[in-house]
Amino acid sequence: MNRRIRTTLGVALAATLVTTAAPAPAAAAHDRRPTVIALPDGFQPEGVAAAGRYAWFGSRATGEIYRADLITGAGRQVSPATGTPSLGMKVDPRGRLFVAGGTAGDARVIDTRTGAVLAGYRFAEAPTFVNDVTLTRNAAWFTDSNRPVLYRLPLGRGGTLPPAGGFTTLPLTGDFQQSGTGVNLNGIVPTPDGRALIVVQSNTGRLFRVDPATGVTTAVDVPGTTFVNGDGLLLLGRTLYVVQNRLNQIAVVELNRAGTAGAPRGVVTDPGFDVPTTVAAALGRLYLPNARFSTPPTPNTPYTAVAVDAR
């Protein structure tokens, strides 16, 4: 697939341990899983979530949810257009898809099997941009790129969803400062120890650790490194993947357990990247939807998702 690892991440990483994305070994030569997943023309994908052999993609244009089979590449619509965006998404073990609603200032929870909307939540009125979501043991957390807050949906016993007004808004204090009118808060994940959250600020390229009880933020110390255009985040063990959309790359960081500091481990690129926005892991691979922000969208514009090896 002609993948490569570049060793620049804002500044030179000459002293950084870099793992080269080598061609597939001979033992994997018969792996027929597609490395490019075709999405519907005109779809304008942004969010992705994955579980088992399936990935779900959300349309920022219409809110439609599309499910793709990662083994065959086949797909179909599972939830129709809503007229509002479907951005960051996560799927839980109960087969529920949590979806961030962008400019609608809301979130909804969808049954992945039937496409039925199980619950909806209106967090804020304009100006708002509910951008991404992560799941913890007892809550779903959403970022707002236009406001220095997180929205928390508490999950009850057995994962019970709260009523429509049963969310809380957590103002952020400390090191994080809202900057200008561009995209601020974006991707979000738990820390490796599960005690806090990590968010990326797209327009400054900084990572912050958030205390979920108080909203106090502290900058994550990743020496000599910034993550400008940081978008979706993915945590696998202690490895944090930061999608840098317009840079067409994934920055790789090894975090400590508390998520207070990390060491850069290089960047992953691929010739198939065309402004990828976020990332999900499945079947030993990373899957990224190409948002193609630099390509004027039309009803006939083709869109894809690209698979790269998880490293």
User: pLDDT tens digit string along 253-263?
Assistant: 999 999 999 99
pLDDT at 311: 73
**Average pLDDT, stretch 242-263?**
98
Listed in sequence order, the DSSP H helices in 163-252 are none
**Average pLDDT, stretch 255-274?**
98
Contact yes or no for 186/206 (Cβ under 8 A): no
Cα 146 to chain center, whole Å? 17
Q: pLDDT per residue over 114-173, tens digit each?
A: 999 999 999 999 999 999 999 999 999 999 999 999 999 999 999 999 999 999 999 999
Q: Percent of the chain beyond pLDDT 90? A: 88
Is the confidence at residue 25, as pLDDT, over 80? no
Query: Distance between CA atoms of 271 and 122, rounded to whole angstroms?
Result: 39
Q: How many CB atoms lie within 10 A of CB 211?
A: 16
Query: Distance between CA atoms of 311 and 298, rounded to whole angstroms?
Result: 35
Nearest by Cα to 10 from 216, 232, 206: 206
Length of the chain: 311
| Sign (positive or negative) of CA dihedral 296, 302, 303, 308 | negative
Is the confidence at residue 9, as pLDDT, over 90? no
Q: pLDDT per residue over 59-114, tens digit each?
A: 999 999 999 999 999 999 999 999 999 999 999 999 999 999 999 999 999 999 99
pLDDT at 29: 55
CA distances from 187 to 150, 205, 233, 257, 300 (A): 11, 11, 5, 19, 29
Query: Distance between CA atoms of 161 and 90, rounded to whole angstroms?
Result: 15
Region for 258 from its dihedrals, namely left if φ exceeds 0, alpha if ψ lies in -120 to 50, beta otherwise: alpha
Amino acid (1-letter code) at residue 131: N
Most distant CA pair in the chain, distance: 54
Q: Which residue has the higher pLDDT, 8 or 282?
A: 282
Summary mean pLDDT of the chain: 91
Contact yes or no for 160/153 (Cβ under 8 A): no
Q: Percent of the chain beyond pLDDT 70? A: 90
Amino acid (1-letter code) at residue 222: V
